[in-house]
Chain A
């Protein structure tokens, strides 16, 4: 039909409007990828600045105060604005396809979640140009974060509050999508592991993020409205912040790593030509990790002085998580065992992940040992540990997932040569950067310090670490080049370039915006593979060809988020002058007004008639 030619010919303004108003999960995935990718580069530049500053003792590449800002923003950006959105990009691109749905349960909220994240991230980064970024560490411990001068921490509070609301919305959306929108026959125990991990992670988001919401509110009230939650002179208690932050913060690390496990559980079976070993155990381990993830937050606070009983309980609970994680590691190894293994970029990242993450897990058990943690605490050992799990786990998974699902998202396979260059430089750079930091930490180098003294045998390790960081940066740049090269020169591939096993590979390339013309009938785990082994090329339809109901695009999510963005400035600057309250009220008025419009204006969606579907197929 003419609609395809129209989309090709539409101008920049039309495309922009399309993306601003889209409620299509596939386009929202692209938005998350662009947003997350942008902040990943930003956080990477901050990391490079940190490593340049630390390349020699008493360096003055940046001032001490600016170092605090860079260090704080590196952590905050990477966790909230890079890792999470990139994972959401994969979830949005893949999960509805894997369960055989035409969209998510709440397409409007899906768009709202993205725009809240985007405006929250922009608000946070506006601080660079408005008197300085937050400088109290990504954990923003009180009372330092309460007394930190300037507006930096205010931007942290408001920015994270807005983007956190977006994450919560996305979590609820995926929970309902996975429960209510599965295709006929797609029982829970037939869901691909990536869908399972998305499901468990969404539950973690739902129960973890409200604690951060409250923590941020309390910090905001203390800083901007004169309350005394963390102010000892008013009887406040700064440990409350630590508890609230880590009740959110520890589940957060599982929110990041479980989808990574899901990605590897898709990539490894596909390129080993084997069913995932121990599927049931994998599901069980995922749920168990999610459950235990809520029981361990205080292991970040061993040195606070909670007493030996509390420390012991949290230490044991933490070590217990190593058991389901170990189950997973062995299941991946057994999936590889005897498989018909094909090694490409996606597979390289997966194979590189296993030893890297295992090292991170091992140091995790070390820091979980409460008495020993008194030595490791706030040293570079901890920095090395969490970069091994987050880079070695989450970032590797994002690269693996992007290589694996790029043909599903964009119709083209990423360049293999460039992909391999990225992997090897990044992989070596990563180990070069962080392996030595274990030893720097054990030698007593504290984290978050802008300088260290000469002649304490810290010089060589820091030089090595900085060289590694530049290798990682090189790998990341090659990946960006890869994207450009693939987009301009790559060739369109079929809908199933990897000979895949799961439902998303049953869809032709490019994916129609309604995903499935007829919802498929799922007959077991690895739904597509079952059909292939029985000589069919596609799944049997579960419904007759009929009109398809699709949601309408809307600009309201964008406006709603913009309102909160504006209100954020009002909140921050009303302490300087009450006239800023006007900005606050205008912003909140925009947001509440659009919510009101959304409530009173009926939105029934639209139908694509089956006659048009036939024409498009031709």
Chain B
């Protein structure tokens, strides 16, 4: 079929994610989606800033947050962003196996981050009895950080789905945009975490 031929050219173009009209549309549409996501997280940050002082007791940011754990989490997520850059680098070089390898490392780092986050929440709930319902600060904290965690989980499941789905057939012009926008999503999640680290944890402790 001619479709197969156009999607699997003899020489892959240098930017396979934007080589087809569908790819161009996905690329642009996803950037717009991330614009909307920015407003979504901005609303959550605004809510958090308004409510961070409403602790209704001594479960304050200063008491709860430990920068050590959060530093490790930040490093994990920042590194995973770098590894996803390597993956896309290899996508552009049409080296599917190396792309899969780096995506795999990204996914492992992401799940480790998520594990730490679950431990953190567990620690707050059982060590300090600091829950979603204990104060407006608690609600705002768990909602903001939880929304981010939900995004991380969704991103991981997405990337794993793409890796498994395309494991056998390799890269073509149909799935290259999919890999590319998944990596865009991953970067966005990383940027949001940088703000969470600064606004929630760093400013909360200092």
Contacts and interface: CB of A to CB of B under 8 A. Distances in A.
Partners in one complex: yes
Interface in A276-304: none
Interface string B105-139: 00000000000000000000000000011111111
Q: A214, A215, A244, A600 — which one has the most chain B CB atoms within 10 A of its CB? A: A214
B29 A106 contact: yes
Interface in A207-258: 207-211, 213-215, 217-218, 221-222, 225-229, 231, 234-237, 240, 243-244, 247
Given A106-B25, A180-B28, A221-B143, A237 B50 contact: yes
Nearest to A604: B3
Given A106-B29, A234-B136, A210 B43 contact: yes
A239 to B, nearest CB: 8
A206 interface: yes
A432 B137 CA distance: 50
Given A176-B32, A234-B56, A225 B47 contact: no
A213 B38 CA distance: 12
A600 B43 CA distance: 33
Interface of B: 2-3, 7, 21, 24-25, 28-29, 32-33, 35-37, 39-40, 43-44, 46-47, 50-51, 53-56, 132-140, 143, 158, 161-162, 165, 174, 178
Contacts of A5: none
B55 A214 contact: no
A168 interface: yes
A236 B43 contact: no
B29 A235 contact: no
B39 A211 contact: yes
The 7 closest A-B pairs by CB, nearest first: A235-B54, A227-B139, A214-B43, A210-B40, A235-B136, A210-B39, A236-B136
A42 to B, nearest CB: 29
Q: Is the interface of A mostly helix, strand, loop or mixed?
A: helix
A234 B135 contact: yes
Nearest to B133: A226
B29 A227 contact: no
Given A218-B143, A228-B133, A210 B50 contact: no
A235 B32 contact: no
Contacts of B50: 237, 240
Contact of B43 (A168, A176, A215, A225): A215
A105 B32 CA distance: 13
B40 A214 contact: yes
B51 A602 contact: no
Given A207-B36, A210-B39, A211-B40, 15 more contacts: A106-B25, A172-B36, A179-B28, A180-B28, A210-B40, A211-B39, A225-B132, A227-B133, A229-B143, A231-B136, A235-B53, A235-B55, A237-B136, A243-B46, A596-B161
Contact of A207 (B39, B47, B132, B165): B39
Nearest to A209: B36
Nearest to B139: A227
B136 A180 contact: no
Given A236-B54, A599-B162, A176 B35 contact: no
Interface residues of A, number: 43
A75 to B, nearest CB: 22
Contacts of B136: 227-229, 231, 234-237
B160 to A, nearest CB: 11
Contacts of B134: 234
A122 B135 CA distance: 35
Given A180-B24, A210-B36, A210-B43, A236 B51 contact: yes
Given A211-B39, A235-B54, A237-B50, A172 B29 contact: yes
Given A105-B25, A214-B47, A235 B143 contact: no
A504 B69 CA distance: 60
A229 B139 contact: yes
B47 A240 contact: yes
20 contacts: A105-B29, A206-B32, A209-B36, A210-B36, A210-B43, A215-B43, A218-B47, A218-B143, A221-B139, A226-B132, A226-B133, A227-B133, A231-B136, A235-B53, A235-B54, A237-B51, A240-B51, A244-B43, A599-B161, A607-B2
Contacts of B140: 229
